Amino acid sequence: MATHDGEIERRLAELGVELDETPLDNGRFLRAQRAGDLVYTSGSVSSRGDAIYKGRIGRDLSIEDGRAAARVSAIRCLEGIRALIGDLDNVVQIIKLVGIVNGDDDFSAPHEVVHGATDFLVEVFGPRGQHARTTFVGRPPSNHAVEIELVVQVKGETEV
Amino acid sequence: MATHDGEIERRLAELGVELDETPLDNGRFLRAQRAGDLVYTSGSVSSRGDAIYKGRIGRDLSIEDGRAAARVSAIRCLEGIRALIGDLDNVVQIIKLVGIVNGDDDFSAPHEVVHGATDFLVEVFGPRGQHARTTFVGRPPSNHAVEIELVVQVKGETEV
Amino acid sequence: MATHDGEIERRLAELGVELDETPLDNGRFLRAQRAGDLVYTSGSVSSRGDAIYKGRIGRDLSIEDGRAAARVSAIRCLEGIRALIGDLDNVVQIIKLVGIVNGDDDFSAPHEVVHGATDFLVEVFGPRGQHARTTFVGRPPSNHAVEIELVVQVKGETEV
C-alpha cells in the first residue's frame, strides 16, 4: 500500500478530506484511464461513505445540497486518479470538468451546483486546479444528484 | 479498398461482427477525427442495417434491448475509427467511453445499458479495451435508444 | 491588447463576425484550458450581446432559431480559445464538438440544430474545421437553447 504524504494529500487533510483506497478496476470498467500525459476519469456519482446525495435538485434537494454532492463527486474523481497514478502531486493541471446535474424539469442552474466541484478543486490544487468546464441538466446513474468527470494532465508518459 | 485481415478483424469475425466500410465524412461532419495519437469518434447512434433501436428504455425497450443497442453503437464507433486509421490493430487503448441513454422519465440505470458497449469492447480488445466511462440519461438524435462516443489512443502520429 | 489581423480574423470579418475580447478567467472557471497541443473549451451557451437564445426547441424556438443559437455558441467558443492562445491562426484542427440542445420533451433532432455550429466552423476554418461530433438533448445552463464545447488542436506546446 502506497503512503500518501505529499503536498496535495496534506492540503486535502487540511480541508478534512482523507481519500479512500479504491481499486482502479471496478470489475467492469476503470475509474480512470491514461493516454500519454492525459488522464480521463470515469463519471463519478455523488455517494461516498455516509454522504449519499440522490434525487433531483429543485425537487428533492437544494442547490446547497447539490454543491455538497458535486464536492463528493470531485473527491471520488481524485480517488480514481490516485488509484491510477499513485501520487496526486503528479497532477500538472486539471484541464476539463464535465458536470451532469439531476434536476427537476424546470431546474436550470447546473452551473451553480457544479461550483461545489470547481471551488473544491481550486482549493486543493490552486492555479493547477483551474479548468474549463461544461455543465448541463441530465440524469446521472442511480438517480444520483451529480456526476462529475475530469480530464487531467499529469507528469510523465505511459509506456506504449 | 483495404483488406481487413488483422488480429482485431479476426476477433470481430469470431464474435459474428463484420464491420461495414463507411465514409469518414458523412457529408457534414466526420465519423472520427485525430489529434496526435488520440482519436475522437462522433456520437454513434444505435442503428446499423436491420438492427434499429429507437425509443426509451423503461417504456419502449427493456434493459436487455438497451444493451444490444449499446453494442450496435460501439460497433459503429469502430467503423468510424477504421474509416480514419485503416487498421484496428493500430488501436493501442480504448481510453474513454461516453454513453447517453434514452430513458423513461424515471429510468435511472444508464450504466446497466452501457455495459453492452463496455463488455463488447473488452471482448474485442482484451486489456486494450478497458476504459474509463461516463453514462447518463439524455436524449440521443432521432430518438435512438443509445449514443456512444469514444476516445481511443492509436499508434503513430499525425503530420501537422 | 493584441491586434487581430490574421487569416482567420479576416475570414470571420467576411462572415460579419467580430470576436469580443473576453477574459480567459470568468471568475470561477476558465473559458478554455490547454494540455500540450490540445485546447478544451468550456461549454458555451447561446447568448452574446443582443443575440440571446433561451428556451426549448420545438416549444419556444424553431430549429432555425436553434441553428442561429448554435452559431452563437460556436462564436463564444472561438472567443474563449482566442483568449487562451491569442491568435486563431494557430488552430491546427477543430477535433471534436459536443452540442447539447434544450428540447421539448418530444424533440429529437439535436443534430439538425447543431449543424448551425458545425457549418459555421467549416465556413471559417475550411478543412481545418472538420470535426467529429456528438449531439444530444439535455438542458444547458440558464435555460439556454444550445451549449457547445470544443476540443481543438493548436500549434506549439505548453511549458510544463
Q: To the nearest whole angstrom, how far is the Cα of A19 from the nearest Cα of chain B?
A: 19
Q: Which three cell numbers stand for residue C83?
A: 483568449
Residues of chain B found within 8 Å of residue A103, distances taken between Cβ atoms: none
The residue of chain A nearest to residue C105, with distances taken between CA atoms, is A105
Q: How far is C90 from chain A (nearest CA, A)?
A: 19
Domain spanning B7-154: which superfamily? RutC-like (3.30.1330.40)
Please state, in angstroms and as integers, the Cα–Cα distance from residue B73 to each residue in A141, B2, B49, C151, following that order. Answer: 19, 23, 12, 22
Question: What residues pair up with B25 in beta bridges, in sequence order?
Answer: B30
CB atoms within 10 A of CB C122: 17
Touching subunits of B (3+ CB pairs, under 8 Å) are A, C
pLDDT in tens, chain B (160 residues): 466 889 999 999 999 999 999 999 999 999 999 999 999 999 999 999 999 999 999 999 999 999 999 999 999 999 999 999 999 999 999 999 999 999 998 999 999 999 999 999 999 999 999 999 999 999 999 999 999 999 999 997 544 3
Please report the pLDDT score of residue A157 as a whole number.
59
Chain C residues with CB-CB distance to B29 below 8 A: 97, 118, 130-133
| Architecture in CATH of A7-20+32-154 | 2-Layer Sandwich (3.30)
Burial of B121 (0-12, 13-18, 19+ CB in 10 A): buried
Closest to B29 (Cα-Cα) out of C43, C149, C122, C70? C122
- Residues A63-83: pLDDT tens digits? 999 999 999 999 999 999 999
Q: State the residue for C-alpha cell 421539448.
A: C104
Neighbours of chain A (3+ CB pairs under 8 A): B, C
Domain regions of chain A by residue span:
7-20+32-154
Q: What is the pLDDT of residues C3-42, one digit of tens each?
A: 678 999 999 999 999 999 999 999 999 999 999 999 999 9
Q: Residue A136: which of C41, C80, C138 has the nearest Cβ?
A: C138
Listed residue (C6, C43, C49) closest to C141, CA to CA: C43
pLDDT above 90: residue C2: no
Q: C159 pLDDT exceeds 60?
A: no
Which cell is C135 given?
Answer: 449531439
Mean pLDDT of chain A: 95
Residues of A in contact with B151 (CB under 8 A): 35, 40
Cβ of A33 and B118 within 8 Å?
A: no
pLDDT of residue A32: 98
Taking any CB pair shorter than 8 Å as contact, residues of chain B touching chain A are 36-38, 92-97, 103, 107-111, 115, 118-119, 130-138, 151, 153, 155
Find the closest chain C residue to A103 by CA distance. Answer: C139
